[in-house]
Chain A
């Protein structure tokens, strides 16, 4: 039996503006989303901002009720059986908030250990163990308000492991961490996966999803647009190469002309101060370079390179195609 099931889940948020003539608007966050996550699986949920990743996590953690459809965790319905689900899951939402700043890191963990009914005589040892796991032993007795962002993120992870839940939801856990901190956190996630925990991970970092996840679901505008192993998703664009062109001053006009070319599958732009790095997916490989450069005629160009497609390119292909 899958550990997590989403069955035709739809979630609509109602918003309104104005005082007298109120205007009501429905925002569809999830639109007929169906997927399941196996027991012990590390499942990645990818998608652009506003795609519905966090909404999915909040439904599965019993914090939101779906407008339609059904969802279950460990066989328990997320709407009606919250009392069965909550002791068996842990969750982290990315960012610094969600801690009591005026007390110490240890106080925070001991408090949540009580809320999760960790056996009283085990609390101190468990807290010490987790502080060591996330590398906060030396700072455990300092107030959280003095912690760096990375330390707060690690404290969040320790909090979510207090009651040793079999299912974890990690919503962008490495966001804002320095490279070393992010790598250490990824190693911790790998260890938890090896222990047999079922993990749902959302991230914007493709290499992270590629390295960690057994399977990945890509959602966009509330819909599942792709589902498979990292290898399967990469094969979606395996016949394509990526031409990377560094430009100075590329604007919408040039991008529109590039996208209009019949041999171009997608164009992604990464802006780096005055430079832009264009990533053009094409089946032509090196043969596309002269024609692409011709379209960018008049712009100052930097490095031009051709490489094989990665998971990020598959993601751009899938999400960009829908835009």
Chain B
């Protein structure tokens, strides 16, 4: 409890304040989804099957995913940059809880990008945007952000354990937009690539959010998608914990907690 819950919420609170003044995060959350939403709405506005809520949800997902990816990859490194890594590792708090708190803050903060994209669609393009199944959509939203946050928690120690690979994690940003089906259905991809999407938690997050917002997903199918989100969250956290222990052990052996 003391090692996990309080550090988690304290870090989330602190990081929300940090993000509100971080220009890069503001870019991820507002400007990038803005350009994506405007471009896609402009491109598809004459399509008969165009559904603006799909674009709002998809653009919002791009903002959430960007924050998760960059926050997860840099969660530990940023502490090293501030010179606080030794202080948080040397405290009784769990490093995994601290990273999870950061990601929770990032995901909550990035939810504003979905609201921002809604505003673009409603006020700039004049669409009537309505979520058709509000209650299932809210459940799907909570599970989606938990799932994406959990994936970020897994990325954090991996980015440290394999630094050379960790640097390349950031190039996952745009492929996941496509494989996750954020803005276009993965049916547009060749069938042999579909298993890649199925293996990604962001894909199930997109299915849940798109499905409940359009009203196409319900009953057993919805339960199945929710189970996939819960399962992937648990799997990511369970995988991350031994990696965090390994990161700390290796850092204590190598003496790599400080920059100097």
Please report A residues at the B interface, Cβ cutoff 8 Å.
13-14, 55, 58, 61-65, 83, 86-87, 91, 93, 95, 97-103, 107, 110-112, 114-117, 120, 159
Contact = CB atoms under 8 A, between A and B. Distances in A.
Q: How large is the interface on B (under 10, 10 to 19, 20 to 34, 35 or more residues)?
A: 20 to 34
Given A58-B255, A64-B255, A115-B10, A100 B2 contact: no
B257 A63 contact: yes
22 contacts: A13-B255, A61-B90, A63-B252, A64-B252, A65-B252, A65-B253, A87-B92, A93-B86, A95-B83, A98-B82, A98-B83, A100-B84, A101-B82, A102-B17, A102-B18, A102-B22, A107-B17, A114-B7, A115-B6, A115-B93, A116-B92, A117-B6
A100 B93 contact: no
Q: Which 10 A-B pairs have the closest CB atoms?
A: A97-B83, A114-B10, A117-B2, A115-B93, A98-B83, A115-B91, A87-B92, A65-B252, A86-B92, A114-B6
A102 B23 CA distance: 12
Given A13-B255, A117-B92, A112 B87 contact: yes
Nearest to B91: A115
A226 to B, nearest CB: 26
A97 B92 contact: no
A86 B87 CA distance: 10
A63 B86 contact: yes
B21 A115 contact: no
A98 B86 contact: yes
A120 B7 CA distance: 12
B175 to A, nearest CB: 29
Contact of A115 (B86, B88, B252): B88
Contacts of A120: 6
Contact of B90 (A91, A102, A117): A91
Contacts of A116: 91-93
Interface string B71-91: 000000000001110111111
B227 interface: no
A189 B9 CA distance: 33
B14 A111 contact: yes
B17 A103 contact: yes
A101 B252 CA distance: 26
A68 B10 CA distance: 37
A224 to B, nearest CB: 21
- Most chain A C-beta atoms within 10 Å of own C-beta, residue among B6, B92, B93: B92
Contacts of A62: 90, 252
Contacts of A55: 255
A58 B85 CA distance: 13
B92 A99 contact: no
A149 to B, nearest CB: 14
Interface in B80-138: 82-84, 86-93, 98
